[in-house]
Structures are given as C-alpha cells and as structure tokens.
Amino acid sequence: MALDAKQKAALFAGAGALRLLLFQAFPSLPNRLAGRVELSTPVSSFKRLQEGLYLYTHNVSPYDGGVYHQAPLLLPLLSLLPSASDHPLATNLLFTVVDLLSAHALGQIADTGRAASTRLFTSSRKSIRWSSAAIVAGYLFSPFTLAACMARSTSALTNLCILTAMAKASQGASTTFLLVLSAASYLSMHPLLLFPPLLALLYDARLDRSKSAPSPLTFTVMHTFGLLVACGALLVASALLTGSWDFLEATYGVRLLLPDLTPNVGLWWYFFIEMFDSFRDFFLGVFWLHVASYTPGLTIRLRTQPLFVAATLTGIFAIFTPYPSVADAALYLSLIPLFRHLFPLMRYTFLASASVLYASFLGPAFYHLWVYAGSGNANFFYAITLVWSLGLSIIVGDSLYAALRDELDVERPELRDKEVKRI
C-alpha cells in the first residue's frame, strides 16, 4: 500500500506539473481552447464566466443579460482571485487543483471497490481490476480531461462535485454526500438525477459499516429532505447575493429552454435550430423527459449495482443533455475503468472507441471547414456530433449489456461463458 501511496503522490505531482507546464509553456493555449465549442458551452464557458465576474464586480447584474448562465455563487468565490487576464496563474492553479481533487475522489471510489462488489451483489470477475493508481492516471492523463482543464470550463467543478459525491456515497458519509451532490446539482442541475442511485449506494455503504440497519424508508425520506434543504439553502444564498431571483431564469431556465443555440458536441443545438417554432416547446419537453427517463429505469433494474448506474448516468448526461461538452465525456470515460471486470464481456469496444477517436479528430476539422474556411456547411459538424454521440451511446449500451451479463453469471453460474439471448 505504501508503494501505492508513493505511486499516487508521484502521479498527482506529475499531473499537476504537466498542467502547470502546459499553462506556462503555451500562454495562448488556454484562451484558444476556451474558445472551442467542443470544450466550453454557453453554460460552462470560462470567457462568459469572466464576463459575469466583470459585470458582478462593476455592479451590473450578470443575469440581466444573455451572456452569463452560470451559478451565482461562483461570482463571489472567483472574484477573490486576481483577474485571469492579468494574472492567469491563480486561475490555472485553481483548475489544476480541481482536477487533482477530482482524481483523488476517483481514487477513493476505486479503493472502496464498490464497483465490482456491493452489498447485494459481487461480480464473479471481481478479481479482474485495475489498481486505483492506474485509474487515477487514466483520468489525469486522458487528453480530454487535460483539454477540459486547460479550457478552464466550469464543468470541471461539476465533475469534481459529482466524483466527490460518488466517493462520499461509497464511503457512506451522508452529510458530505448531500452537500456535494446538492452543490453539483446547484452548479448544473442535471446531477440531481444521480440522487437515487447514489442514495442506494450510500445506503449499502452505511449497512456495511454499521450492522444496525435504518429502515430504507426513513433513510430515503431523511436524505431527500436533507438534499432539498441543502439545495434550497444554496438557492436562497444566491438570491440574497444577487438580490433577486432572476438568476433562476438565466441559469436553469437557459438549460431547460435552450435559447442559446451555440454549437456543441451534443444533439440538441442543431435540432432546435432547424425545429419548427410551433413544435419547439413540445420537443424540449420530450427531450428532457427522455433524459430523465433513464434514472428510474437503470436504478430499478440494476439496484444491486448503484455505482454502475451512476456511472452510466454520467455517460447519458454526456450524450443527451442540452449543453454537453467533452468534459462530461471525459468524466464518463474516466469512470469506465472502475468496471474493469466488465471489459471481457463488452463486444463493441473497438468500434466504439474508433468512432469516438474519429469524431474527436474530424470534429475540429469539420468545424473549421464550416466556420472559418467557409467551404463546408453546418451539416459537416453536425454529422460529427452524431458520430460522437453514437460512439458514446454504444459504449453505454455495451457496458450495460456487460453488466447484465455479469449479473447473469452470478445468478446462474452454469451459463458462464455460454451464449446468451435476450428474451
């Protein structure tokens, strides 16, 4: 274990150093990346955050405008830092630290080993796993994570909250879990959908720790109440801070109603550019319903492996939310290695990873053709977002299949390594 600790220390040091080195070596790189639509969306762009800060520090309400759509509490916090344009170092440090913390949380999740064995279910392949160091390395050095960190998009903060929430849940620390999850939901709303699976995870963890089982019902009620209180507190604090409730409409309203159609890697923007006005609201409703529908489905079917459900949901978010970015995909892809024991059961790994790779190379090229060279049109980039989403959804579906197959092996060992069919 000592060696592992050393390894980890080295890892974190290396990753931090790498980030700072990149920041210092290419001073223009962060802003260039921050301008990439793949990395920073209207709800997570660092440039918009700076604008919000500027307005906030000059006593103009940032929410009385169409630029800033991020959480109010970020403003006072980040206004403590020196302005990123003059002294970028502070901001760079902040985002580096955020990344490292997320990696730490990821390591904690890996250490608890709840990915392969939970209270109600233990995979027959649990022996097949990667050391948490490897998983952390996978997160810290994945180019997607790096790019997202360099772009300083605030989805890094959301990712941190989500990962910490998972870690705390798998450790059974109720209060911190509630706080962090509410923070995540406060920052970008959709993490709220992670509550049911993570609650289950928390419950399992609690039971493992103390044999005195609280009744599930009271447990749920208590924690739901706790979550509501935490979120409410955050919202009220923001309202007090900004002096009005306008921010609701400017932050969550924007996420819900999609007034800003800036391109991103997701499926919504082009759809709603081309959508007929009369159907816009209807399809907004349908799309959101679609996103929300996964939580109950997965939680019920895979109630024995809540962590897997949570991970899969992050994948769903990376595909089907209105303003997804590469950062979200990075979160999901870095959670996958936790389920190393499922890899042998996955069938389309090569196809999926190849299409994701292709998309991440062709995407920028086609965007350039559309917006700068003018020799291509919007369909080029749109097609690539389709491929990207398809690739990710194949990974999601495939891992889900693997999980179910794995479950089956435990239920009916005689079927192990046999052909199976779905009926």
Partner 1 sequence: MALLATLLALRKDARILKIPPYLSAFLILVGLGWLLVLPLNEYSRATYVSENALLPGQVHTYFTGSEHNIFRAYRHEVAGLVDMPVQQRTEKLSELFRATNLKVATQKYAYTPSGRNISNENVYAVLQGPRADATEAIVLMASLKTMDDEHNYSGVALVLALARYFKRWSLWSKDIIFLVSGDSTSGPQAWVDAYHDAHDPSKVESLAIKSGALQGAVGVEYPAGPWGHRYDKLHVVYDGTNGQLPNLDLFNTAVNIASGQMGIRCTLQRMWNHRDTYQERLQTMLRGMLSQGLGHATGPHSAFIPYHIDAITLVTVGDGWHDEMGLGRTVESLFRSLNNLLEHLHQSFFFYLLLEAKRFVSIGTYLPSAMLIAANFSITAIALWVQSGRWQEPIPNPAATKPVSKPATSESSIEPKKQAEEPTQQEEPPEQKDTEPPTTLVSNDGATAIIPTAALPISERPLFLPAAFVLTAHLFGLIPLAIFNTLPVEELYPSFLLAANITILLPLGAAFFLSQFNRPTPQETTLIHCFSLLFLGMFLSALATLNFSQSLMVGLLTAPLSFVRRGKGGLGSAAQFALLAAVNPVMVVQAAAYAAKVPMLDVLVKAAEGWEIWGLWTQVVMWLVWWPAWFCGSVVVASGLI
Partner 2 sequence: MLSFLSFLLCNALIACAFAGSDYHERLLLRPLPQSTLLASFNFRSNESSVTYEQQNFRLFPRSLGQILQHAHTKELHLRFSVGRWDAENWGQRPWYGAREGSNGVELWAWIEANTEDEAFSRWLTLVNNLSGLFCASLNFIDATKTIRPVISFDPEGDHASTSNLHLLHGTLPHEVVCTENLTPFLKLLPCKGKAGISSLLDGHKLFDAAFQTMALDVRPVCETPGENCIVEMEQTVDMVLDIARSKRPRDNPIPRPLPIEEIECDTSKPYNAPDTCYPLDKRTEPAWNLTEVFGKSLKGACPLTATEGPESETLCINTPPERTIQVNTTGQYTESLSASDTLRCYKLPTGAEFDLVLPEQRMTTGLVRGEPHLYAARSINGHGQERGSVQVVIKNPSTTDPVEFAYLESLPWFMKPYLHTIRVNVPTSTEDPLKETYYRPAVDRVRGTHLELRLVVPPASTLTLTYDFEKAILRYTEYPPDANRGFDAPPAVIRILGPFQSADRKGLYLRTTPLLLSLPTPDFSMPYNVIILTSTVMALGFGNIFNLLVRRLVGADEVPEVAGGLKGIVQGKIQWLMGLFGKHQKSE
CA-CA distance, 313 to 325, in Å (whole number)?
A: 15
Binding mask 301-330 for partner 2 (x = CB under 8 A): x-----------------xx----------
The answer to whether the CB of 13 falls within 8 A of the CB of 133 is no
Q: Which does 340 bind (CB under 5 to 8 A by kind): partner 1, partner 2, none?
A: partner 1
294 binds partner 2 (CB under 8 A): yes
347 binds partner 1 (CB under 8 A): yes
- Chosen residue from 128, 207, 257, 292 binding partner 1 by CB under 8 A: 128
Binding mask 25-54 for partner 2 (x = CB under 8 A): ----------x-x---------x--xx-xx
- For partner 2, the binding residues in 393-422 under the rule CB under 8 A are 393, 396-397, 400-401, 404-405, 408, 412, 414-415, 418-422
372 binds partner 2 (CB under 8 A): yes
The identity of residue 180, as a single letter, is V
3-state per-residue secondary structure call for 234-298: HHHHHHHHHCCCHHHHHHHHHHHHCCCCCCCCCCHHHHHHHCCHHHHHHHHHHHHHHHHHHHHHH
Of 246, 243, 274, the C-alpha closest to 258 is: 274
Of 234, 218, 224, the C-alpha closest to 198 is: 224
Alpha helices per DSSP H over 71-194: 74-79, 88-112, 132-140, 143-151, 155-171, 174-188
- For partner 2, the binding residues in 66-125 under the rule CB under 8 A are 66-67, 83, 85
277 binds partner 2 (CB under 8 A): yes
Q: Which does 175 bind (CB under 5 to 8 A by kind): partner 2, partner 1, none?
A: none
- For partner 1, the binding residues in 210-249 under the rule CB under 8 A are none
354 binds partner 1 (CB under 8 A): yes
What six digits make up the tokens of 321? 């939310």
| Burial (CB count <10 Å: 0-12, 13-18, 19+), residue 275 | middle
Close Cβ partners of 273 (under 8 Å, ≥ 6 residues apart): 261, 378
Q: To the nearest whole angstrom, how small is the minimum distance from the Cβ of residue 147 to partner 1?
A: 15
Q: Which does 396 bind (CB under 5 to 8 A by kind): partner 2, partner 1, none?
A: partner 2
- Residue 216, classed as helix, strand or coil, is helix
- Residue 122, classed as helix, strand or coil, is strand
- Residue 408, classed as helix, strand or coil, is helix
Q: Which residues bind partner 2 (CB under 8 A)?
A: 35, 37, 47, 50-51, 53-55, 58, 60, 64-67, 83, 85, 259-263, 267, 269-277, 287, 290, 293-294, 297-298, 301, 319-320, 370-372, 374, 377-379, 382, 386, 389-390, 393, 396-397, 400-401, 404-405, 408, 412, 414-415, 418-423
Q: Which residues bind partner 1 (CB under 8 A)?
A: 127-130, 134, 340, 343-351, 354-355, 357-358, 361-362, 365-366, 368-369, 372-376, 380, 417-419
